[in-house]
C-alpha cells in the first residue's frame, strides 16, 4: 500500500514531536491504555488520546491531505483501519471546555497475527498542534497499545537523511538494527529501528548473522530461505533471482496445492550439499512430504517418484536424516552452535491461509524465536521490515511448525563443512 513506514512531513521532527516540551501529566487506564495529557508549561493545549472512530473520518481525511504530499490514505482505507484492520489507530483530540473537539494528530500501528512485533506505520500532527508534545504523546500511547496487544517490539523505518527523526526516536529508546538500500522512490536508504517494550528483552542470542532475501515468486520460499542460510555461512555468495530459481529447480516437489510445487526438505538438503555445505534433515513422517496437498493421482505419482529419487541420492551421499521431531530447545542450541535452521510452517497462523511455507531462524532468546519470512505481504501494506527477525513465542512457534492434517514437521539444518584434516 505504501513504500515507507513512518510517513512524516518534511518539517523538523523535533518540532513535530515536541523536543523541548515535557508532559506535565499523562494518566491512563488499563482498559484503554491511552488517556489525557496536559502541558503545564510553554504549551496551550490539552488533549484526549483514544481509538479512532467512524465519526472522525472527515477530520482524519483532512489531516491526511494537509500532512502528506503523497501516498495518502483514502477514506475507504481509513474506514477499514478503524473497523476491520489488524491495527491500532489512535487520535489525539483537543479536550477543553472552551473549544470544540478538534483532531490534533493520529498514529497508526499495524499488527501481524502470530508474531510479537508491531509496526509503527504512520504518524501525523496538525500544523497548529506542533511543538506541543502531541506527537510524542501519540508515540507513547502507541507503545502502550502495542504492549496491551502482547507485542514485545515496535518497529519503524526512517530515511537515512532524516537525522532529526533518528535522534528523536533514539531519545525515545529506539535502537537501529539495519538498513534497506534504495528503499524510497528517490533511492534513499531506509534505516530500521525497533524498541523492546518488555524491559527484560535484550539482544538476540548469538548465532550466524542471517541476511534477508525476499522471494520473488509464490513458490520459492524454500529456495529463498536456503539462500539466506548459505549467505549467513559464506558471505561471498550473491543472492539474486538466478540462484533463487536454480535452487527451486533442484529442490521442487513439482506439484503442490493448486500450482507449482514448492521445495521439500530433502531437495533443500541436496541443494545445500551441492554447494559444499552440510545439511541434516529432521522430519516426523517417512511418507512423501506434502503429498496430501494435491488430489490428482497423477500428480501424487509424480511427487512420489521425485521424492524417491531425492531420497536415494541422500542415502548415497550420506546426508543425515532423522525421522523425528526436532524440539525447539535442541534447534536453538544448534543455532547458537552455528547451524541455520530452515523450518516448514503452516502459514495459517500468520496469513490465515492454509499453505505450507518455509522460514529461516535468525535468532533466539529466553522469550522468542526470531525468523526471516521471505514472503512480504505487500497487498496488506507490509514491507520487508515486517518479515525480518519476526519474534515468535516458542509455544506459538511449536503450533505453527506443523502442516496439514497429518501434522508434518520438517526442519533442515544448514552448517559449514568441517575443516579438512589436511588443510
Question: How do the domains of the chain map onto residue ranges?
Answer: 13-196, 221-415
57 secondary structure, DSSP code: H
pLDDT at 4: 35
Angle (nearest 5°) at CA 394 between 272 and 410:
35
Measured at the CA of 37, the angle between CA 73 and CA 157, to 5 degrees, comes to 40
Residue of 214, 180, 209, 210 whose CA lies nearest to 374: 214
CATH of 13-196, one of 1.10.1840.10, 3.40.50.10490, 3.40.630.30, 3.40.50.11390: 3.40.630.30
* Distance spanning both ends of the chain, measured CA to CA: 53
CB hemisphere CA count around 368 (13 angstroms): 24
Write down the CATH number for the domain with range 221-415. Answer: 3.90.70.10
Residue 133: DSSP 8-state: T
Distance, in Å, from the CA atom of 141 to the CA atom of 153, rounded to the nearest integer, reads 14
Cell of 65: 491531505
Radius of gyration of the chain (CA): 24
Question: Average pLDDT for consecutive 10-residue bins of the chain (423 residues)?
Answer: 38 32 23 37 72 96 86 90 89 80 93 82 89 90 89 88 84 88 84 81 60 94 98 95 97 80 94 98 92 84 94 97 96 94 89 86 87 86 80 89 90 87 45
Helices and strands (DSSP H and E) totals, the chain: 13, 18
* Distance of alpha carbon 316 from alpha carbon 162, whole angstroms: 56
pLDDT of residue 421: 45
Confidence at residue 265, expressed as pLDDT on a 0 to 100 scale:
97
Taking the CA of residue 170 as centre, how many other CA atoms within 13 Å lie in the half-sphere pointing to its CB? 11
Residue 318 backbone zone (phi > 0: left; psi -120 to 50: alpha; other: beta): left
> In this predicted structure, what is the pLDDT of residue 205?
52
Coil, strand or helix at 406: coil
Looking at residue 20, what DSSP letter applies? T
Sole residue written with cell 532475501: 213
Amino acid at each position: 500500500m505504501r513504500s515507507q513506514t513512518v510517513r512524516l512531513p518534511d518539517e523538523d521532527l523535533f518540532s513535530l514531536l515536541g523536543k523541548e516540551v515535557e508532559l506535565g501529566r499523562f494518566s491512563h487506564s488499563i482498559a484503554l491504555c491511552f488517556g489525557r495529557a496536559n502541558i503545564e508549561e510553554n504549551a496551550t493545549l490539552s488533549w484526549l488520546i483514544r481509538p479512532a472512530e467512524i465519526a472522525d473520518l472527515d477530520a482524519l481525511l483532512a489531516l491526511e491531505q494537509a500532512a502528506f504530499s503523497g501516498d495518502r490514505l483514502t477514506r475507504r482505507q481509513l474506514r477499514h483501519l478503524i473497523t476491520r484492520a489488524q491495527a491500532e489507530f489512535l487520535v489525539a483530540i483537543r479536550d477543553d471546555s472552551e473549544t470544540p473537539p478538534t483532531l490534533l494528530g493520529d498514529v497508526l500501528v499495524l499488527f501481524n497475527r502470530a508474531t510479537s512485533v508491531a509496526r509503527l506505520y504512520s504518524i501525523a500532527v496538525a500544523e497548529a498542534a506542533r511543538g506541543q508534545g502531541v506527537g510524542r504523546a501519540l508515540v507513547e500511547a502507541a507503545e502502550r497499545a502495542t504492549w496491551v496487544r502482547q507485542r514485545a517490539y515496535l518497529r519503524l523505518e526512517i530515511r537515512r537523511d532524516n537525522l532529526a527523526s533518528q535522534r528523536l526516536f533514539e531519545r525515545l529508546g529506539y535502537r537501529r538494527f539495519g538498513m534497506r538500500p534504495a528503499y524510497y522512490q528517490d533511492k534513499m536508504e531506509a534505516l530500521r529501528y525497533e524498541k523492546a517494550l518488555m524491559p527484560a528483552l535484550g539482544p538476540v542470542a548469538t548465532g550466524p548473522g542471517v541476511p534477508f532475501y525476499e522471494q520473488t515468486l509464490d513458490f520459492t520460499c524454500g529456495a529463498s530461505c536456503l539462500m539466506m542460510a548459505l549467505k549467513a555461512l559464506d558471505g561471498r555468495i550473491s543472492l539474486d533471482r538466478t540462484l533463487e530459481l536454480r535452487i527451486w529447480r533442484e529442490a521442487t516437489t513439482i506439484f503442490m496445492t493448486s500450482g507449482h510445487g514448492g521445495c521439500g526438505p530433502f531437495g533443500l538438503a541436496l541443494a545445500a550439499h551441492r554447494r559444499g555445505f552440510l545439511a541434516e534433515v529432521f522430519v516426523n513422517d517417512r511418507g512423501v512430504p506434502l503429498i496430501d496437498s494435491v488430489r490428482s493421482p497423477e500428480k501424487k505419482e509424480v511427487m512420489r517418484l521425485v521424492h524417491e529419487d531425492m531420497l536415494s541420492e541422500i542415502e548415497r551421499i550420506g546426508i543425515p536424516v532423522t525421522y523425528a521431531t526436532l524440539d525447539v530447545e535442541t534447534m536453538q542450541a544448534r543455532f547458537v552452535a552455528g547451524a541455520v535452521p530452515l523450518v516448514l510452517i503452516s502459514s495459517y497462523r500468520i496469513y490465515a491461509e492454509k499453505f505450507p511455507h518455509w522460514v529461516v531462524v535468525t535468532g533466539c532468546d529466553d522469550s522468542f524465536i526470531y525468523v526471516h519470512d521471505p514472503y512480504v505481504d505487500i497487498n496488506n501494506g507490509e514491507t520487508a521490515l515486517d518479515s525480518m527477525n519476526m519474534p515468535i513465542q516458542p509455544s506459538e512457534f511449536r503450533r505453527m511448525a506443523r502442516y496439514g492434517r497429518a501434522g508434518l514437521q520438517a526442519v533442515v539444518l544448514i552448517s559449514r563443512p568441517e575443516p579438512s584434516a589436511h588443510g
